[in-house]
């Protein structure tokens, strides 16, 4: 570049200016001897009482290599003119904003000045040192087979070879001998990729085929397992239904079970009558056969009645046990955080105690004399808290059974007494005046009748 008012310089002038610029920007170190001498003088100790004499120091840096020098943006240099004389030339300096790549140079041994290659001092040289314009093609096969242009690189590390000779020993134990392989062209590479691609496709398609076949096998196997499980479930269901039907006939419990027994008995009677009529028997034989059928029917009806009575007792015991258990259950209160807390109230505790007494009263078959007397005593004191006709009957039955047990009576003779005591104590538990939790299990009509009866008994006992 030229300053305003100056003429455009020729290429020779620009080259001369570049050389002068390189000389002015060279940096030289101080001589080793001078540097060492100055450091020794500065570090030399001063004797006590002696004064340090100020010695005028020489200029530390020569003008051509002063490190504090900052080059201006425009400099004036003298170059030979076309007429053979010297003329001033204004040159604009373009300072580098990034670290320059070191591409070589040398250092003066005497002065220590470092001189770089001129290529690193010009923008064109800097552009040439930045490497490839398309670095992605640097290691490509097209670059290796390029016939028009070649490129070379200068690495920062020098390498060399040393050949063996008679007066030099070299250790070659770690040397590796390599031989170049035959040239592998791009066409051969494409063919190799095509073959390897076919191999990968074959293996992958085989994998997909095996996976599909295995999925089909798994599906068929799962269908077979499901079918076997279905058959087993049907078989178990049939067996369960058969056992249920046998249990319904052997131990009927509900009204439908007894209805089934009556219907089957009626069907059996009709079948026997039809068979008898089809035999063509005489009147006397028909009468005798009818008597046999009637006797079997009567016996079957008696058996059904016994089963019905047993079912009623079991149903009543189950119902009473369930009711007593529900009475003794704690109250469930919902807290503010949404949790449910179980709380025992005095009424639920009372119901639990009465339930335990009722179970102990009806389990006399598994206890001895002392246990039975203790249960009777607890029931007596529980009923004695109230004074009415029901509680007096319970107390009287407890005393009567205790007296008979002391006399050594057989338990078979006490069955009626114990059953009556059990019924009265159950009535005691079901009365809301004695067990407040039983009020939830009483119907409105029964509750009104029971309340009226209890009031009448209380009034009657008050007059006694």
192 — phi, psi (to 5°)?
A: -65, -45
User: 3-class SS at 173?
Assistant: coil
- Neighbouring-strand partners of residue 334: 340
Instruction: Give the Cα separation of 306 and 298 in Å (integer).
Output: 12
Residue 22, both tokens: 């390189």
Which contacts (CB < 8 Å, 24+ apart) does range 436-444 have?
436/347, 436/350, 437/327, 437/328, 437/347, 437/348, 437/350, 437/351, 438/327, 438/351, 440/327, 441/323, 441/326, 441/327
- The tens place of each residue's pLDDT in the chain, 464 residues long, gives 444 444 444 555 545 555 555 444 444 344 444 554 454 455 545 444 444 444 444 456 666 666 677 778 888 888 888 887 888 888 887 776 766 666 677 788 888 777 776 555 555 545 555 556 666 666 766 665 656 666 776 666 555 566 777 887 777 888 888 888 889 999 999 999 999 999 999 999 999 999 999 999 999 999 999 999 999 999 999 999 999 888 888 888 888 888 888 898 899 989 888 888 888 778 888 888 888 889 988 998 898 888 888 888 888 888 888 888 888 888 888 888 888 888 888 888 888 888 888 888 888 655 678 888 888 889 889 888 888 888 889 989 999 888 888 888 887 888 888 889 888 988 898 888 888 888 888 764 354 445 444 443 443 343 33
The predicted model scores a pTM of 0.43
CB 333 within 8 A of CB 343: yes
Which contacts (CB < 8 Å, 24+ apart) does range 306-311 have?
307/251, 307/252, 307/258, 307/261, 308/252, 308/258, 311/251, 311/252, 311/253, 311/254, 311/257, 311/258
Instruction: Give the Cα separation of 330 and 327 in Å (integer).
Output: 8
- Neighbouring-strand partners of residue 333: 341
Residue 104, both tokens: 């070589």
Instruction: Give the Cα separation of 127 and 93 in Å (integer).
Output: 17
């Amino acid at each position: 570049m030229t300053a305003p008012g100056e003429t455009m310089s020729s290429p020779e002038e620009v080259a001369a200016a570049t050389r002068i610029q390189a000389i002015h920007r060279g940096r030289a170190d101080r001589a080793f001897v001078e540097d060492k001498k100055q450091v020794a003088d500065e570090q030399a100790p001063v004797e006590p009482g002696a004064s340090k004499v100020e010695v005028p120091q020489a200029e530390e840096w020569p003008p051509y290599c002063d490190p504090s020098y900052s080059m201006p943006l425009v400099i004036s240099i003298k170059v030979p003119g076309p007429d053979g004389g010297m003329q001033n030339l204004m040159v604009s300096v373009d300072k580098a904003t990034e670290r320059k790549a070191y591409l070589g140079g040398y250092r003066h041994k005497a002065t220590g000045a470092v001189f770089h290659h001129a290529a690193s001092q010009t923008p064109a040289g800097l552009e040439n040192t930045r490497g490839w314009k398309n670095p992605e093609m640097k290691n490509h096969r097209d670059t290796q087979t390029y016939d028009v242009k070649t490129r070379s690189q200068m690495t920062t590390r020098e390498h060399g070879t040393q050949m063996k000779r008679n007066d030099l020993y070299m250790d070659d134990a770690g040397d590796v001998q390599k031989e170049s392989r035959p040239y592998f062209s791009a066409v051969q590479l494409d063919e190799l990729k095509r073959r390897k691609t076919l191999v990968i496709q074959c293996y992958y398609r085989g994998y997909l085929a095996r996976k599909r076949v295995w999925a089909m096998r798994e599906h068929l196997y799962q269908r077979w397992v499901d079918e076997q499980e279905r058959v087993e479930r049907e078989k178990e269901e049939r067996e369960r239904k058969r056992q249920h039907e046998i249990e319904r006939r052997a131990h009927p419990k509900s009204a439908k079970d007894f209805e089934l027994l009556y219907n089957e008995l009626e069907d059996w009677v009709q079948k026997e009558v039809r068979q008898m009529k089809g035999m063509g028997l005489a009147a006397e034989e028909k009468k005798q056969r009818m008597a046999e059928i009637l006797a079997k029917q009567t016996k079957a009806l008696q058996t059904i009645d016994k089963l019905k009575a047993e079912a009623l007792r079991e149903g009543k015991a189950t119902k009473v046990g369930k009711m007593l258990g529900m009475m003794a259950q704690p109250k469930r209160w919902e807290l503010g955080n949404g949790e449910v807390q179980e709380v025992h109230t005095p009424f639920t505790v009372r119901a639990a105690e009465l339930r335990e007494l009722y179970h102990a009263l009806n389990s006399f078959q598994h206890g001895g004399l002392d246990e039975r007397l203790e249960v009777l005593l607890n029931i007596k004191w529980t009923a004695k808290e109230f004074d009415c006709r029901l509680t007096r009957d319970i107390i009287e039955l407890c005393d009567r059974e205790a007296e008979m047990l002391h006399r050594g009576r057989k338990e078979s003779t006490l069955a009626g007494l114990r059953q009556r005591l059990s019924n009265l104590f159950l009535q005691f538990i079901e009365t809301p005046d004695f067990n407040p939790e039983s009020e939830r299990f009483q119907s409105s009509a029964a509750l009104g009748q029971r309340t009226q009866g209890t009031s009448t008994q209380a009034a009657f006992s008050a007059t006694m």
